[in-house]
Amino acid sequence: MAFWWPLLVLGFAYAVCRFLLMLIPPNVPSIDVDASDVLDDGSQTKENGFIYIPRKGKAAQSDRVHCYEPATMMYLGYFPALTTDEVKEHVAQARKAQKVWAKSSFKQRRQFLRILLKYIVEHQELICEISSRDTGKTIVDASLGEIMTTCEKITWLLSEGERWLKPEYRSSGRSMLYKTSKVEFHPLGVIGAIVSWNYPFHNIFNPMLAAVFSGNSVVIKVSEHASWSGCFYYRIIQAALAAVEAPENLVHVITGFAETGEALVSSVDKIIFVGSPGVGRMIMENASRPLIPVTLELGGKDAFIVCEDVDVPHVAQIAVRAALQSSGQNCAGAERFYVHKDIYSTFVAQVVKIVKSVRVGPPLAGKYDMGAICMQEHTDRLQLLVNDALDKGAKIVGRGRFGHLGEDAVDQFFPPTVIEDVDHTMKLMQEEAFGPIIPIMKFDSDEEAIMLANDSNYGLGCAVFSGSKHRATRIASQLHCGLAAINDFASNYMCQSLPFGGVKHSGFGRFAGVEGLRACCLVKSVVEDRWWPFIKTKIPKPLQYPVADNCFEFQESLVEALYGLNVWDRLRALVNVIKILSDKNPGTVAAAGGGRRRNQ
């Protein structure tokens, strides 16, 4: 007992010291980011701003990317649509900066992350307001989808990032017992990212953080639908890099249309794309010529399965939040709802009750639960999906209510809509809607729910709800998708240690987590002598040129000695290996293992 007391005291003292050190805040400098030109102080409406009427179709693509608030159509300004040569110049600058940054310490990289984290926490409202103005989402949705996920990623990298980028030692096996084997993770060079508009802050920071922390530079092409906010967020990154004396041009944010994206794909060392399956195919095609690796996140048609043994009001509230995620801009949202027949009517009634209370309107003009649809003409597509379902027998059972909308902005809003009596012949259950529509279908058994959920070209995520955790887990384990939440929705996105990505038309490859961090690296296998220079590789005499007559007998016996299943056969083979090695006249010793069987 006396032996354990000192250890317990030392352990307790260590824990107390660690706790006290946690109370001491790290020395993190503040950065100053000019936001004077992005704050809506009211003067813009009367003097500098005007209602913007965007051109439609390909005619909208010119040498400028025009930006406007989708909720009010207020003009925000423009950015250049970069040409191929301009993109290549950005990549060249990033490549030069990366060669310097690759030699940086993890201490410097962690300080960069801390500076970013400090700024984000202290300027949440500013970041969320800019995201809201550029995409139409509410401030709360911006906080949930943009701020929290980004802060969680930074915190995870600070805590575990260096650990997963250090060399990882592996077993050397039987034949290489005298060697050490390890995997090294080196930066790839320049990471290119083409990101979508729905989470403009997080979609920039997500690839940037992993790329920069692993020693790369990064060039990010932001969506033409969210360039205004993306270019402001770039200022934050620039200020943080300058604060840690990182090389200039380490991170670039570029603007433009398809030509800009195509030029980026062919210029970098890896491409990360977030967007639609159609554009994803073109990215793959362009990347295939220079053989550039790609990670594709192409959206989803996530299934939301509700068993009969759940707390209906509780799950209904989660279901509505899942469907309306980020003002109907639900890249991570559920799009197909399967409810057990025993609670179907009750569940639908509860969802309708919640949806009817949802207020739709300009997010910064009042207290609204849902804002505008970001993409021009997308409301027309949503209505076409609804009409197709209605023509095939579905019916609308509830819709949200509009707030006060200006006449010029009505087309940018779509009320949350609950639809029942749907089936898989309807486009609404097969195509990604990317909008605030809740189609609900009943099922009889767990097997039917699994079959329905897997009947999709997409495979990003799913959510399964049951009073039995074992039952929910069993159902989720049989769904063909990359993410699964048990009795919850979208919790995967807050666990930044987990990889993110899907299968089928939802793409492939992973970002986030260990897998996403290492995906920004050249993964190099290294083998070296364990006891150099005392033991090193020497080619056995029977295998030296010119090879001996019994070289195959030697090799055959060696294989059996190392890998044979019967220990006595392995020992006999080992004896034969020793005999052959000690034989002065190669070819005179009969094999004890495989050679013996061959001669019989």
Q: Which amino acid belongs to residue 407?
A: E
CA contacts within 13 A on the Cβ side of 352: 14
Pairing type for strands 458-459 and 503-504 reads antiparallel
- The residue among 326, 299, 327, 323 whose CA lies nearest residue 414 is 327
- Could you give the CA distance from residue 341 to residue 295 in angstroms, rounded to a whole number? 39
- Could you give the CA distance from residue 461 to residue 490 in angstroms, rounded to a whole number? 8
Residues in the chain: 600
Cα–Cα distances (Å) from 590 to 533, 539, 545, 560, in that order, read: 34, 21, 21, 15
Reading the block at residue 413, the tokens are 């809003």
Q: What is the CA radius of gyration of the chain?
A: 30
Determine contact, residues 132/40, Cβ cutoff 8 Å: no
The distance from CA 529 to its chain's CA centroid, rounded to whole angstroms, is 38
Catalytic residue among 307, 331, 462, 520: 331
The angle that helices 149-156 and 200-213 make with each other, rounded to 10 degrees, is: 10
Q: Which amino acid belongs to residue 34?
A: D
Catalytic residue among 129, 262, 297, 560: 297
| CA quadruple 148, 330, 226, 86: dihedral, nearest 10 | 100
The angle that helices 344-356 and 312-323 make with each other, rounded to 10 degrees, is: 50
- Determine phi and psi for 402, rounding to 5 degrees: -80, 145
Cα–Cα distances (Å) from 209 to 116, 193, 405, 478, in that order, read: 10, 12, 38, 33
DSSP character for 547? P
ω before 54 within 30° of 0 (cis)?
Answer: no
- Could you give the CA distance from residue 329 to residue 332 in angstroms, rounded to a whole number? 8
Question: Would the CA dihedral through 459, 463, 466, 470 be positive or negative?
Answer: positive
Cα–Cα distances (Å) from 299 to 18, 103, 132, 168, 193, in that order, read: 43, 36, 21, 33, 16
- Determine phi and psi for 253, rounding to 5 degrees: -120, 120
- Could you give the CA distance from residue 251 to residue 237 in angstroms, rounded to a whole number? 8
Cβ neighbours of 580 (radius 10 Å): 27
Determine contact, residues 274/508, Cβ cutoff 8 Å: no
Which uninterrupted H or E stretch holds 88?
helix 84-101
- Could you give the CA distance from residue 201 to residue 142 in angstroms, rounded to a whole number? 9
Determine contact, residues 288/492, Cβ cutoff 8 Å: no
Is 297 in the active site? yes
Is 89 in the active site? no
Question: Would the CA dihedral through 16, 20, 23, 24 be positive or negative?
Answer: negative
Determine contact, residues 372/327, Cβ cutoff 8 Å: yes
List, by residue number, the catalytic residues: 297, 331
